[in-house]
Structure 1
């Protein structure tokens, strides 16, 4: 299907693709502790996936007590759009969070000054400003639902959702965030993000001791076999060994606290590996991730079940016994609401930093099918950030000197309209089967699945980004959440206070204090407002509100007389 036809479909259906559900999740029946161990930028290059290059004794030990997923996929091959899918249970193309990167919201505190001048243009050549994505008003970050049913939520410490997370999402969201800071007996959902394997660590860790021998690393055929390549690949494996040490320390804390046996542990990477032809790729090297779960039932072994990152939000709500809002696009794969296994998972590719393109993909357990809306563009994208990887700079030099072989050169050639790969037998996507008549039935089946997905899900990537921004930020100015309004009714114990704001979809946070001298900021212990609250006479209530993508209100203070 041609891009212009998709554009017409999107414009016709832009406001009616996703059903709203504004129900508050019910009180959880079971509330297990849940820990996410999240690393950055690694493919399944670990021993329990068959690659013994890096020595990872702590992850190996965890894997022996976990269910290992062989078919877990990110939605986008880069962090911020991927993380927006994780925290919302929605596809980035539905939310408008698919372009990497929108603004400065890597953490949800600090400087939020969005630049009007950038070096980024959209598909029509129009300038793109920095912005926070304004997502549909009914969509929340799912940890907020956990807080409403009694969970302590902590994030240490990266958010990077393409928008600033409201203070209602996390009890703690900083470098001190930890399950140890919860109330006694309170169930927790704690996230720890480890960046030691991030792409940037290929060059930033260059002076650290190398723990993996460059001469012994496996080298994909699409890489030049040079000292530079082997050094970067060995550095990646050495960083994975450093990650294993950090994971070991965190698990030791959990065991020391006597929580290991009654905590569900997830381990995964935010997308595929950090090296060229991995990160930012819509193919298996960019989206396929290591993923395992240690549950409370002692489930062990492997599963070939297809899992998408949009499935994480409903799965955690299912494990917590909370109601899953109907608008979520993911499917729970564990817990009370475990759903029918997927037949397919989907991937998207749009702007990465200063380079804009658009492709869409569908995976089953054996095949990958891709539609490239702009086949004249190269798969290689001349992204300045990636040029800091030494082997990337060398690859460009060898390309310019015509010293890359046929396999190594394919990345620098125009794409085809359609691609079909047998990812079981050709994981490095070297042989496009789209025009092979032997695979016509497979291609038709996969194409039908992808076109159905594109037709049934709003795809804001079809709009030029500057036009999308102007819809989110009218006249390219960030909208502001309207102030919190307070009403109070007298009771025998003080007053019952109701909070509201005229901004639809805004979350309201509050703090009750005995003093008027509170020094509050984003890291203060804000509570989530979901129903009227009791406040004693003489106490102060501090309030603020934020709709995702909007600027939050100023903090207001009211004394209850």
Structure 2
């Protein structure tokens, strides 16, 4: 049986607001159909509630704090930007798929913490093609592909008011101009009206809050159509019968008290997997729902296993599709610096409880954040807080959280009743504390030291290290390429063609011009080395 193609479709900033996941307001007919044809995973959690740390975890299969990617973001540190430097053995799982013969592609957004946000800024060895226009049609005939397509439609910025509604400036103006050029305006569609939405108790039930939540739903409906376009093209190209489709989101809703938080509103995401019949695990059936706990660090080993690629021992996650693997008892998440606001939280969740440990107990999640404050509902929240118009549940996000929080998710799904001081829940608190301590014992947490100290370890003397240039060794018509930098990935091209991932000695021919370059994740790319093979 040929190896399957694997296509990951990743929405931005979206909690499980999908009809198939029980949301009566969501207008998602195409995702609902995908769920009917596949399996819904209803307890999936990202490793962080914000883009870059979550994407660092997704692409490496490592917790963001273990690769130095926990802060939001590495590039906008007030004292100066940097790039995370994962341990030398760590590779992005698409690079491992590429090494196994897969054609790999992604679109415009990467945002891995050892890259910038946009395509073309990360290690060149991860993707065969990246950026606008990259797709499966660029692969070799019969070559299996792995693709990751992002849907910016549902990004937090889509909840900001449209360009014409108020005076704009700076970063916000530029981003909304980009959206206006490339994405549908949700206000031109009324899939969901403000009157239809449910307002959670931590928000006041006022017009601006309803309008922004409805706008988020309308972006979700537009994203649903975009997913259908991708799936239709897969069908037209005759690839649906040998392509596994995974749809999910990079973290929870792009709304206040969701994005950037380790509450479920920030880290719980929907996931659907659809298999062609010949690849579907025998214990799973179309239309089924799976409630096991899944962490985003489980994606890498699961996808590698789907492709028949060996899973590296360093990965902490597990293949959640293997019925022989016991279900997780816990998932873990983190929150660290947000722009200029220093913070450190670690969260542990099981099927019922959430434990949050804060190292900055004085720092509320509801703090000033220039980007988020562009949202109309956020401005309403600030004004109502100032006017003392928020009730105790709505004020809580703006108040210091204390060192420990414990929530019974079954009884308190909005995580409003902190049980950390409850004598009745002391055994649960101790158990969750112990789970976090055990995790920290087995996973290096760069948050245990200051960001400055971490950056100094990554970039001594404040300078980005440079990957050692490749060195050629030729024996007859066999060419070996090496770099003296531990953990460096290498690529080469022949006679000015496409860059290929170096996987071992290559055969050369007289007259070939071979170029090679090397990259250690987080370091500067090497110079290009070249070798002319004599005729």
Same fold (TM over 0.5): yes
Counterpart among 86, 93, 113 of residue 142 in structure 1: 93
Query: Paired residue for 2:257?
Result: 277
* 1:335-374 mapped onto 2 (5 Å cutoff): 339-374=325-360
Deviation at 1:394, TM superposition (A): 1.2
Task: Give unmatched runs, 5+ long, in structure 2.
Answer: 116-121, 161-175, 177-184
* 1:148-547 mapped onto 2 (5 Å cutoff): 148-164=99-115, 165-203=122-160, 204=176, 205=185, 208-295=188-275, 296-297=279-280, 299-300=285-286, 301-334=288-321, 339-490=325-476, 495-513=477-495, 518=496, 525-547=498-520
Assess, with a 3 A threshold, how the Cα gap between structure 1 residues 543 and 119 changes in structure 2: closer, same or farther.
closer
Instruction: Write the distance in 1 (CA, Å) between the matches of 2:72 and 2:267.
Output: 15
Q: TM-score, normalised by structure 1?
A: 0.86
3-state SS of 2:293 partner = strand
Deviation at 1:119, TM superposition (A): 7.0
Native 8 Å contact 2:102 2:143 kept in 1: yes
1:448-486, CA deviations, whole angstroms, 9 ceiling, x for partnerless residues? 111111222111011111111111111111111111111
Instruction: Write the distance in 2 (CA, Å) between the matches of 1:362 and 1:381.
Output: 23
**Aligned-CA RMSD value:** 1.5
3-state SS of 2:457 partner = helix
3-state SS of 1:415 partner = coil
Deviation at 1:275, TM superposition (A): 0.6
Counterpart among 93, 114, 125 of residue 65 in structure 2: 93
Native 8 Å contact 2:77 2:339 kept in 1: no
Deviation at 1:207, TM superposition (A): 5.0
Native 8 Å contact 2:471 2:529 kept in 1: no
Instruction: Write the distance in 2 (CA, Å) between the matches of 1:484 and 1:154.
Output: 25
Assess, with a 3 A threshold, how the Cα gap between structure 1 residues 338 and 325 changes in structure 2: closer, same or farther.
farther
Native 8 Å contact 1:89 1:310 kept in 2: yes
Number of residue pairs matched by the alignment: 498
Deviation at 1:154, TM superposition (A): 0.8
3-state SS of 1:189 partner = strand
1:407-446, CA deviations, whole angstroms, 9 ceiling, x for partnerless residues? 1111111112211111122111111112222222222222
Native 8 Å contact 1:89 1:330 kept in 2: yes
Query: Paired residue for 1:124?
Result: none
The worse-fitting range, judged by mean Cα deviation, of 89-98 and 48-57 is: 48-57
Native 8 Å contact 1:78 1:100 kept in 2: yes
Task: Give unmatched runs, 5+ long, in structure 1.
Answer: 1-28, 104-117, 121-127, 519-523
1:67-121, CA deviations, whole angstroms, 9 ceiling, x for partnerless residues? 1111100000001110111111111111111011112xxxxxxxxxxxxxx672x
Instruction: Write the distance in 2 (CA, Å) between the matches of 1:96 and 1:233.
Output: 33
Assess, with a 3 A threshold, how the Cα gap between structure 1 residues 179 and 206 changes in structure 2: closer, same or farther.
closer
Deviation at 1:488, TM superposition (A): 1.0
3-state SS of 1:64 partner = helix
Instruction: Write the distance in 2 (CA, Å) between the matches of 1:467 and 1:443.
Output: 31
Deviation at 1:54, TM superposition (A): 2.2
Deviation at 1:282, TM superposition (A): 0.7
Query: Paired residue for 1:11?
Result: none
3-state SS of 2:137 partner = helix
Instruction: Write the distance in 2 (CA, Å) between the matches of 1:207 and 1:439.
Output: 46
Deviation at 1:338, TM superposition (A): 6.0
Instruction: Write the distance in 2 (CA, Å) between the matches of 1:463 and 1:299.
Output: 47
Query: Paired residue for 2:119?
Result: none
Native 8 Å contact 1:484 1:544 kept in 2: yes
Assess, with a 3 A threshold, how the Cα gap between structure 1 residues 208 and 338 changes in structure 2: closer, same or farther.
farther
Q: TM-score, normalised by structure 2?
A: 0.91
* Structure with greater helix percent: 2
3-state SS of 2:292 partner = strand
Native 8 Å contact 2:186 2:219 kept in 1: no
Query: Paired residue for 2:22?
Result: 50
Deviation at 1:211, TM superposition (A): 3.0
Deviation at 1:145, TM superposition (A): 1.1
Native 8 Å contact 1:172 1:525 kept in 2: no
